[in-house]
Amino acid sequence: MSRHQLTESGQLKHFLTIEGLKRDLLTDIMDRAEQFSSISGRQVKKVPLLRGKTIMNLFFENSTRTRTTFELAAKRLSADVMNLNINTSATSKGESLLDTLHNLQAMHTDMFVVRHNQSGAAEFIAQHVAPHVSVINAGDGCHAHPTQAMLDMFTIRRHKGHFPDLRVAIVGDILHSRVARSQIQALSTLGVGEIRVIGPKTLLPADSQTLGVHVYHNMAAGLKDVDVIITLRLQFERMQGALIPSAQEYFANYGLTEDKLKFAKPDAIVMHPGPINRGVEIASAVADGPQSVILEQVTHGIAVRMAVMSMTLGSHSEQQEVNA
C-alpha cells in the first residue's frame, strides 16, 4: 500500500496503486467516469476543469493505448499536455530520473503521468515532487497499472452491474502482469463473488492462494460458468528464460478459442487490456466476436483517466463544472 497517494482527508492526491483504496473511492472514480463518458459523445468534447494546468506524460516504456488516452483525457479537461520523448530527451545523455523530473517541474508542471519498466518508479517520483504536483502511475514493471484496472472495472460494471454476483476469470501470464495484480485488488475491493486465475504453473505467482483467488490450470474447469473472462498477453519482455514450451502449445492449452469460450456463461464478456497477440492468447474469432468488449475498454480509458486526473488535481467545487 502506498502511504503517499491520499491526502489527510482521504482524497486522491496521487494515483499509484489500487492496494489500500476503499470501495467508496473506486466507486467514485467509476461514477465520475460515467459523467465524463457522456461528454465524449458531445460535439465539443471539452470541459474547463483543468484549464491552466500543465500535465507531462513521461513514458519510459512503449505504449499505444495508455499514453494516447491520457493525452486525450488531459485535452478534454482543457489542460496543457506535453509528451516527453524519452528517446530524444537528455535522459539518453546520462541525466538521472530525478534531475529530469526537477527540470520538468521547474516548468510549473502540475501532474506527471509515468510509465516505467521498474516496479516502484511512480511511487519514487511521487516522493520527490513538490507538494502541489500529482503523479499518476501508468504502469510500473510487474507491480501496478491502476488506471487500466479501473477502466476494466468500469467496463465490467457497464455490462454486468452488481459486482458481488460475478465470477471473473483472468487467464494467462499472471506472474508478470501488473494489470492482473491491480485487477485482482480492484475486484476484491469491489466485492466480486469469485475471482479465478487460469494458467500454467510457470506463469502463476507462487503466492496465488494468498491473493484470495481460486487457481486453475485447466481452461474447461476454470472458465466454467464465469461471467467475465480477462485474457492476458504473454509478457516475454519480463520473462527470464522460457516459461512455456512454445506459443503454439500455449495457444492449444490456454488460447481463448470459440470452443473454450463455450465453457463460460453464454452472455460472458471477453476482455483484454491489449496489446493482443492473435493466435497466442486469443483467437481472432473471439477477439473480434460478439462477446468481445476489448475496444470498449479502450474507449472507457479516456473517461476513467479524465476522472482520475480531475480527482487528483481538482477540488470538489470544481465538480460542478462537469455539467457546464
| Residues at the site binding ligand CP, with contacts judged by CB under 6 A | 63-66, 139, 148, 273-275
If the CB atoms of residues 5 and 66 are measured against ligand CP, the closer one turns out to be: 66
Least separation in angstroms between CB 115 and ligand CP: 7
**CA atoms within a 13 Å half-sphere pointing along the CA-CB vector of 20:** 13
Burial category of 315 from C-beta neighbours within 10 Å (exposed 0-12, middle 13-18, buried 19 and up): exposed
Among 188, 197, 204, 198, residue whose Cα is nearest residue 153: 188
Least separation in angstroms between CB 162 and ligand CP: 26
If the CB atoms of residues 63 and 117 are measured against ligand CP, the closer one turns out to be: 63
Helix runs in the chain, H state only: 23-40, 65-76, 97-105, 121-128, 146-160, 178-189, 219-223, 247-254, 258-261, 284-287, 294-313
Least separation in angstroms between CB 182 and ligand CP: 11
If the CB atoms of residues 47 and 187 are measured against ligand CP, the closer one turns out to be: 187
Least separation in angstroms between CB 239 and ligand CP: 17
Under DSSP, is residue 223 helix (H, G, I), strand (E, B) or coil?
A: helix
Least separation in angstroms between CB 35 and ligand CP: 23
Give the CA radius of gyration of the chain: 19
Reading the block at residue 160, the C-alpha cell is 454486468
Reading the block at residue 215, the C-alpha cell is 487457481
Distance CA 280, CA 245 (A): 13
If the CB atoms of residues 207 and 237 are measured against ligand CP, the closer one turns out to be: 237
Measured from each CB, the residue nearest to ligand CP is 66
If the CB atoms of residues 139 and 222 are measured against ligand CP, the closer one turns out to be: 139
In residues, how long is the chain?
324
Distance CA 226, CA 170 (A): 10
Cα-Cα-Cα-Cα dihedral of 228, 33, 178, 238, to 10°?
100
Least separation in angstroms between CB 275 and ligand CP: 6
Distance CA 155, CA 166 (A): 13
If the CB atoms of residues 66 and 312 are measured against ligand CP, the closer one turns out to be: 66
Distance CA 302, CA 39 (A): 11
In Å, how far from its chain's centre is CA 26? 13
Least separation in angstroms between CB 304 and ligand CP: 12
Least separation in angstroms between CB 139 and ligand CP: 6
If the CB atoms of residues 223 and 230 are measured against ligand CP, the closer one turns out to be: 230
If the CB atoms of residues 139 and 255 are measured against ligand CP, the closer one turns out to be: 139
The helices-and-strands tally (H runs, E runs) of the chain is 11, 9
